[in-house]
Chains A and B, each alone.
Chain A
Amino acid sequence: MTRLTAVLGAGVALLFAASLLTGPAEIGVGDSLSALLLGGDTPAAMVMREIRLPRALLALMIGGSLGLAGAAMQGYLRNSLADPGLIGVSGSAALGAVLSIQTGVAGAVAFSLPAFALGGALIGVFAVLALAGPRGTSLTLILAGIAISALAGALTSLVLNLSPNPFAANEIVFWMMGSLADRSMVHVGIAIPFIAIGAFMLARLARGLDALTLGEDAAAAMGISLRSLRLTLVFGTAAVVGASTAVAGAIGFVGLVVPHILRPFVGARPGALLWASALGGAIMLLAADIAVRLILPERDLKLGVLTAIVGAPLFLHLIYRTRREGL
């Protein structure tokens, strides 16, 4: 476990540094670091501090959030198909974010953008959990997720098409696929409080999720309140996914792929999987965000494209396995 943490931590640190060194402005490694650390009034300092640093920080925070939320949902639902993107939570968060921007609230009230996204995410999680039921099968969970995703996606498109801004309609793809291009420290600032609170709530689920593997009765006998576990899960997930989606759009599959890969390394303990998945999610998103800049440096290739190319085959594999096991 500690070795896994060390390996994942080293991976995060390495990719974080690589992300800071990736970009069209060709600044040498030494110059980059001195510009980043010493600042000053040079163009290089502006590139490092105002463009690359927020981008790397957001990849770290958002990847971590999505990995953590995926691990928590899978642990709670005891279902390895649960991913915030797949079950419509990210889509609902995007709808909330788009509503706050297009109604002008986002420009007028501080933190209303992540708050609206959190509201959307909350509605999405509640709707999916209510539709799928507390012990929902994979089938009902995925169907509920498809329905919520489709509805949220359609309403997001509708709001953007009704916008008086001619550019808004072209941004449907950003809200559906996600991107970290040209974000700034302002975005880091609005996302960080929500992500910190949400991650704290989800981290506290570790003991409860471990107990839940023994069954609900056993967990209740161990003094775990299922009601409070569920509420913590819902609010924690909505907070991290809402804030992430508000600044970067909906990025799918991170919460599906990462817990799946890391589960064998933590002895299938959902509690231990939480932090491992947070680190793993950060690795996956940092890597994806470096890749989009290397593959098409001057176009804004969406992150969700890469995460889906990696994640969707795994999803198909999981569905196949689920079918073999007879749902």
Chain B
Amino acid sequence: MPARAVSINLCTDQLAMLLAAPGQLASVSRISLDPHVSPMAEEAARYHNNAGRAEEVHALRPDVVLAGTYSSRETVALLRRLGIEVVQFDIVDSLDDVSAQIAQMGAALGREARAAQVIAEFEAGLADLRADLNALHGEHPRAALYYANGYTSGDASLAGEILATAGLHNAPAEAGYDWGILPLEMLAMIDPDVMITARRYPGGSRAEEILDHPVVGAMRGQTGRGALTDHDWVCGTPFVLRAIGDMVAARRALGSDG
């Protein structure tokens, strides 16, 4: 079991905080302090926080560094050249990958027993949600994910799986917009039953101003059921259960409206 681990990626931060033995995790990334993307912002504040630069990571003298596959290539290469073991974790784009990734983190930290326990809890939670959903009859509403700059997510993404598990259709994906920009015009034409938008950041931006557009407002208002994505949607961690639960609640609310 490595005595000192340092995590430099938002998603590995969360898995490491969930699994590490007391005192084993020396530092997590600074991004984990941002409650917009990090469901464990409060916990992250109790750790040392790094900016993911090779020099500061090296100075922490870690036995193992936990990184994402999209972490800076240069940083990872440099750390390996300095003789530090770096374990990279893939982007999670399905619920099955969540359990696999928890197991991978358990192995990297030498905490296999704790990982097995977290996986069991996650899978039990997922089974409960699915049983709950089977009892939920009626239409499968058509949802649209709509983020800053007019981006949407297709089915082959964690967000897509969250929708599918909750029994919502991913309407833009069905119209052929798999990943990337969904033109505002097409959003109006698709006319979804549920609009799922992201929580706003402080300070203004034109990217998020699109969410104030009268068309987006009309979609939300007409359905009366806007829903929000938040930090639970970002990483493949057990927190996605909360995201699915929120979507089931949105679907129930829509159903009770008739």
On A, residues with C-beta under 8 Å from B are 23-25, 43-44, 46-47, 50-52, 101-102, 104, 106-107, 163-168, 170-171, 174, 182, 184-186, 297-300
On B, residues with C-beta under 8 Å from A are 148-150, 180-181, 183-186, 188-191, 201-208, 210, 212-215, 218
Tell whether, in the assembled complex, residue B204 and residue A166 are in contact, meaning their CB atoms are under 8 Å apart: no
Tell whether, in the assembled complex, residue A171 and residue B207 are in contact, meaning their CB atoms are under 8 Å apart: yes
Q: Roughly how many angstroms separate A167 CA and B210 CA in the complex, as a whole number? A: 12
Given A50-B215, A51-B184, A182-B184 in contact, is the A25-B189 Cβ separation under 8 Å? yes
Tell whether, in the assembled complex, residue B204 and residue A101 are in contact, meaning their CB atoms are under 8 Å apart: yes
- B residues within 8 A CB of A101? 204-205
Partner of B183, one of A50, A106, A185, A298: A298
Tell whether, in the assembled complex, residue A163 and residue B203 are in contact, meaning their CB atoms are under 8 Å apart: yes
Given contacts A185-B214, A186-B214, 15 further A-B contacts (CB under 8 A): A23-B183, A24-B183, A24-B185, A24-B186, A47-B188, A163-B204, A163-B205, A165-B204, A165-B205, A167-B207, A168-B203, A168-B204, A168-B205, A170-B207, A298-B181
A246 CB, min distance to chain B CBs, angstroms: 12
- A residues within 8 A CB of B183? 23-25, 297-298
Given A50-B218, A51-B215, A167-B149 in contact, is the A102-B204 Cβ separation under 8 Å? yes
- B residues within 8 A CB of A297? 183
- A residues within 8 A CB of B201? 164-167
Given A167-B148, A168-B203 in contact, is the A46-B208 Cβ separation under 8 Å? no
Q: Roughly how many angstroms separate A62 CA and B208 CA in the complex, as a whole number? A: 23
Closest to B182 in A: A298
Given A167-B148, A182-B213 in contact, is the A43-B203 Cβ separation under 8 Å? no
B41 CB, min distance to chain A CBs, angstroms: 15
Closest 4 CB pairs of A and B: A167-B207, A165-B203, A167-B205, A101-B204
Q: Roughly how many angstroms separate A300 CA and B148 CA in the complex, as a whole number? A: 13
- A residues within 8 A CB of B181? 298-300
A138 CB, min distance to chain B CBs, angstroms: 35
What are 10 A-B pairs at a CB distance below 8 A?
A: A23-B185, A25-B188, A43-B188, A50-B188, A51-B215, A101-B204, A167-B149, A168-B203, A168-B205, A182-B210
Q: Roughly how many angstroms separate A4 CA and B232 CA in the complex, as a whole number? A: 61
